[in-house]
């Protein structure tokens, strides 16, 4: 009795043995089509398009904090999947919570266009967003956005601003911080070199030139430049004190802070005299920038953007506590990673090297003296023989770069 269904099944299978591959594939396609047409799908209510015209709107400024390590800069690019940016993630959050409909319609401006890897604490943006209106409690912009942003981006505060407010052009000053370990750097020499940057100067030899922007004025004003001690050396690791350069100016050129740090590191290593700053600021003497590498992006922070007559609104105590605890968790995790690396280094110090003639610590102090150029962020560039900046090949001048750019643009236009 139990064998009867099995025999019936085998007879049905026998008829497929003589079928060709094409016949089998056609049969499978027919069965799949039949299955999909008979399967019932639950009715989904179609989402109605959001109509911003039914809501009040207002212009606000947002203070944004972010760790830039995982992003290709602050400003949004064309493809957020392959070129992730801080601004792109902010736009996604704004659209998800229906504070804006499209980027083009929200009148967005930014204060600083930080580059790949650079972090921000006092970054300010302004835009037009949905509002509850004047007769109701306002939307909790800080909490609403922070629930949707990735863990390395947070809104710290918001402020009502006029429709004419522009985050870039209304900013009175910008302050950057750059963190570094002391190592063998001569801090007094660095401070002497830093003083030459103060005031109004032409900084074309301290930036990356972009001929497509057609910049005609490279003069910028440095208000202050201080080198401050932050933390003492780690136990058992000499000269690992941390310092910061705090640099305040009215505005900055592309990569200007990283170029300034690169020169200060050269001065601190006694590879250049502090007066090299004066030489590079003298455009009549040095028309174009000598070829030197920029300092690392990792330690650079846009610390503050200064505005007049802005009353920042922060969240309630519970809201601010959540943000603070969030940064504390990230700090704790990264400090543990640093302590692990520190433990590895300390563990290796007593290792015997060179057939037991010395410890690794002694070898590092005496033998391992190949010339290096400090670039910050733990990066160094080894150099068998250092070449003075004024003896190096020069980059194209601003005018030459613009001529080449115009010629290339003209050639492309002629080919179309």
Tokens of 202: 């032409």
Q: Does 398 participate in catalysis according to the annotation?
A: no
Question: Which position has the token pair 């019936």?
Answer: 8
Q: How many Cβ atoms from other residues are within 10 Å of residue 172's Cβ?
A: 11
| 106 contacts 62 by C-beta, under 8 angstroms | no
Which candidate in 115, 170, 304, 398 is catalytic? 115
Q: Are 190 and 266 in contact (CB under 8 A)?
A: no
At 51, list the tokens.
């109509």
Q: With beta carbons less than 8 A apart as the criterion, state whether 390 and 380 touch.
A: no
For residues 316 and 157, is the Cβ–Cβ distance under 8 A?
Answer: no
Distance CA 397, CA 382 (A): 28
The two counts, helices (H) then strands (E), for the chain are 10, 13
User: What is the DSSP code string of 51-75?
Assistant: -GGGSEEEEEEEEEEE-GGGSS-SS
H or E element in which residue 153 lies:
strand 153-160
Q: How many CA atoms are closer than 13 Å to the CA of 367, on its beta-carbon side?
A: 10
Residue positions annotated with a catalytic role: 115
């Amino acid at each position: 009795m139990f064998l009867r269904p099995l025999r019936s099944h085998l007879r049905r299978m026998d008829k497929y043995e003589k079928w060709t591959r094409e016949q089998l594939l056609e049969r499978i396609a027919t069965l799949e089509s039949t299955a999909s047409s008979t399967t019932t799908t639950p009715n989904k209510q179609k989402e109605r398009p959001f109509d911003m015209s039914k809501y009040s709107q207002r212009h606000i400024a947002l203070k944004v904090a972010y760790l830039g390590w995982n992003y290709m800069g602050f400003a949004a690019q064309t493809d957020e999947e392959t070129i992730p940016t801080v601004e792109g993630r902010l736009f996604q959050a704004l659209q998800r919570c229906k504070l804006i409909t499209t980027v083009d319609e929200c009148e967005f401006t930014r204060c600083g266009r930080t580059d790949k890897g650079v972090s921000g604490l006092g970054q300010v943006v302004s835009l037009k967003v949905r509002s509850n209106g004047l007769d109701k409690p306002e939307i909790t912009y800080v909490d609403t956005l922070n629930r949707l942003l990735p863990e390395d981006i947070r809104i710290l505060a918001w402020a009502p601003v006029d429709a004419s407010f522009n985050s870039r052009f209304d900013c009175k000053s910008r302050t950057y911080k750059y963190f570094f370990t002391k190592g063998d750097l001569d801090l007094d020499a660095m401070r002497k070199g830093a003083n030459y940057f103060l005031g109004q100067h032409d900084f074309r030899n301290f930036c990356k030139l972009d001929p497509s922007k057609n910049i005609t004025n490279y003069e910028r004003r440095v208000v202050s430049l201080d080198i401050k001690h932050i933390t003492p050396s780690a136990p058992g690791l000499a000269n690992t004190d941390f310092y910061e350069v705090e640099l305040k100016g009215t505005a900055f050129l592309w990569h200007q802070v990283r170029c300034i740090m690169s020169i200060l590191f050269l001065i601190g290593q006694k590879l250049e005299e502090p007066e090299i700053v004066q030489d590079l600021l003298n455009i009549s003497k040095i028309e174009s920038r000598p070829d030197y590498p920029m300092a690392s992006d990792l330690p650079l922070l846009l610390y503050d953007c200064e505005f007049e007559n802005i009353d920042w609104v922060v969240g309630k105590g519970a809201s601010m506590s959540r943000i603070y605890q969030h940064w504390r968790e990230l700090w704790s995790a990264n400090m543990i990673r640093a302590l692990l690396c520190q433990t590895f280094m300390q563990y290796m110090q007593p290792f015997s090297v060179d057939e037991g003639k010395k410890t690794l610590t002694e070898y590092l102090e005496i033998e391992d003296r190949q010339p290096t150029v400090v670039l910050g962020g733990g990066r160094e560039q080894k150099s068998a023989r250092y070449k003075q900046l004024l003896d190096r090949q020069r980059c194209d001048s601003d005018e030459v770069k613009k001529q080449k750019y115009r010629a290339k643009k003209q050639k492309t236009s002629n080919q179309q």
